[in-house]
Amino acid sequence: MSAAAFGGYSGQAYSPAGDKGRFVLPPLFRKAVRDSSDGRTLCLAKHNRWNCLTGFGLSRRTELDAQLDREEEMSFRANREFDRDTRASQLFGFVEIPFDDSGRFVMPEHLRALGNVDDGLYFNGAGRFFTIWNPAELAKMDNEWASAKAACDNFVADAQAKARSK
C-alpha cells in the first residue's frame, strides 16, 4: 500500500514504557504509520487543544499544506487576521522519529514534558491522525471521552496484570 492509498487511523491500544526510555508503537498503529510514511517514520507533535500528543505518518504533510490554505481563506472571508507564518510553524512543528521493526522508538524529552508522558501511552485513532495520552490526562477529560477512558482503563489494567504475573 502506498502513502497515496493510506486509509487513516482507527482503533485503540496501550503501550507501557519500556527499557531505556523507549515506547512501542502498537502493531495496529505501526502498520498504519508505515503505510502512511512508506517507511518507519512516526511524526509526533503536541495537540493544539488537549493535553496529549498527536501522531501521524509523513503523508499528512500534503494535507497540512491544504489545511493552512483553507484556514487562511476562511480568515480572509471572515475578515479576521491570520498569521500564516505562526500557523505554519504550529502545523509543521512536528518531530520525525524513526522506529524499528518492532515499533520501538525514543520520545524526545520535550514531547514527554508537553504530553505529560509518564509510564505508559494510550493510543486513540482519530482518522487523519491519532492521539497519544498519558492515561491520567485522559481521565481528566469530560464525558464525551467516556468510551476512550473506559478502553484506556481496561488496557492499563491488563498491562498491570501482565506485569504482576512476571
The packing angle between helices 84-91 and 60-77, to 10°, is 150
Whether residue 4 lies inside any domain: the answer is: no
**Per residue in 90-144, pLDDT tens?**
889 999 999 999 999 999 999 999 999 988 999 999 998 999 999 999 999 999 9
Whether residue 83 lies inside any domain: the answer is: no
Q: Find where cell 504482576 sits.
A: 164
Whether residue 69 lies inside any domain: the answer is: no
pLDDT of residue 2: 45
Residue 54's DSSP bridge partners are 45, 131
Rounded Cα distance, 62 and 148, in Å: 29
Whether residue 21 lies inside any domain: the answer is: yes
Core vs surface per residue 134-154: b (16+ CB within 10 A) or e? bbebbeeeeeebeebbebbee
* C-alpha cell read off for 150: 473506559
Whether residue 156 lies inside any domain: the answer is: yes
Whether residue 75 lies inside any domain: the answer is: no
Q: Which domain holds residue 148?
A: 15-57+98-164
Core vs surface per residue 7-16: b (16+ CB within 10 A) or e? eebeebbbbe
Whether residue 5 lies inside any domain: the answer is: no
Instruction: Let me know how long the chain is.
Output: 166
Residue 98's DSSP bridge partners are 41
Residue 19 belongs to a domain with what CATH number? Answer: 3.40.1550.20
Whether residue 153 lies inside any domain: the answer is: yes
As for how many domains the chain has, the answer is 1
Q: State the amino acid at position 147 in one-letter form.
A: S
pLDDT of residue 37: 84
Q: Is 48 a residue whose pLDDT tops 60?
A: yes
What global pTM score does this model have? 0.87
Rounded Cα distance, 133 and 126, in Å: 13
